[in-house]
Structure formats: C-alpha cells, structure tokens
Amino acid sequence: MPEWGLERRYWRKGYLVAGLDEVGRGALAGPVAVAVVVLPPGDHPYRDSKTLTPKARERLARELRRTAWAWALGFASNREVDRLGVIEATRQAAYRALARLGTVPDLLITDYLTLELPYPVLAPAKADAQSPTVAAASILAKVTRDRLMIAAHARFPAYGFAKNKGYGTAEHLAALAAYGPSPLHRRRFAPVARVKLL
C-alpha cells in the first residue's frame, strides 16, 4: 500500500498542491460532481469518502470548508454525460471546478483522471487512499452530490434517489422498469437505454 500523504514531498518543496476527485461517474441518474481542494501543509483527518459514514462526511466537509486554503466544485449534467461520454463529461466538470478555485496550484493530484493543464498533474490510481488532499475533495464532492440527489427525490420520488443517489440498485432498476426514465436519467447508460427500447 502506498504511503499516506502523497503530497508531503511537494509540500516540503514549497509547492501549492491541489487535490481533485469526482463522484457520480457510475450513477444512472444525476450529475457528475467534481471537487478540488487546496489544504495547508500538515496533518489532516480526511480519508476516502467511501470509507466514511454520511454523518462523518458531513462533519469533515464542514471542517474542510472552514480550514482549506481554497476549494471549488464543478458539475456535468446527465445530458452532458450522454452527449460527451462519462469520461469527457468528468473532465469538463474538473475544468469548471479548477476555473472556480481562485488560485493556480503548482501541482494537481487526481484520482486517475488525466487533464491537460499548464502545470504538472499526478494521476495515480486510488489517489483518494494515498492523499489527504484528494480524500478531502472526495468528501466534498460526495456530500454535495448526495444533497443534490436528496433534493431530486422530492421531484421524482418513485426512483428512491434519496437512498440510492442515482446508482443502479435493485429498487432503482425496478422503478425504471415500472415508470421509465426521468429527466435526470442518463439515456445512453445501458440499464436506462434498455428500458427505453422496451
């Protein structure tokens, strides 16, 4: 397992390091959310959002907004995912987040997402398990997207978005079969496309 704290060697060199992560790439409905975060050098409590409870993610997201040097969010809609493909839509959401960051980092660490930028990008696999900065971004993206899907549940309650957050659970797939896709569904994703063809 790689050593925790991938950015430490760069902090020691005085680099301004940003971490970026996405949430929602594999969902059948809703946007892709990308967060980018710049943390001050030091020890941080952030861990991969998938390993945390919702309550812990909310608490850490509040701390992050208070203590990070900079943070920003970018989104790609379900329609963009259908039009561009999920990887390119994720890249566009990442560029939007970086444009809103308000500062230009010396180095960006992503979770295996390649980007064309005028500064170095490290894109190791499982970066959210190696870097507290990327882990912080994963938490912020997850908390933000979850809130959006909970709000979407009020508009489209049949699909259970408050619980499944747009992912293809058995209950979600059953609702798709019964009601067809909502305006938030990704029409080119196979489980949704199959329903449209029935």
pLDDT at position 197, please? 63
Please state, rounded to an integer, the average pLDDT across all residues of the chain: 96
Return the CATH superfamily for domain 8-155.
Ribonuclease H-like superfamily/Ribonuclease H (3.30.420.10)
CA 146 vs CA 33, 114, 118, 150: distances in Å: 10, 25, 32, 6
Q: State the Cα–Cα distance between residues 98 and 78, nearest whole angstrom.
A: 20
What global pTM score does this model have?
0.96
145-161: average pLDDT: 98
- Give pLDDT tens digits for 86-118: 999 999 999 999 999 999 999 999 999 999 999
Tell me 24's DSSP state: -
- Give pLDDT tens digits for 38-76: 999 999 999 999 999 999 999 999 999 999 999 999 999
Quick one: pLDDT band at residue 3, thresholds 50, 70, 90? low
pLDDT at position 126, please? 94
Q: Where are the domains of the chain?
A: 8-155
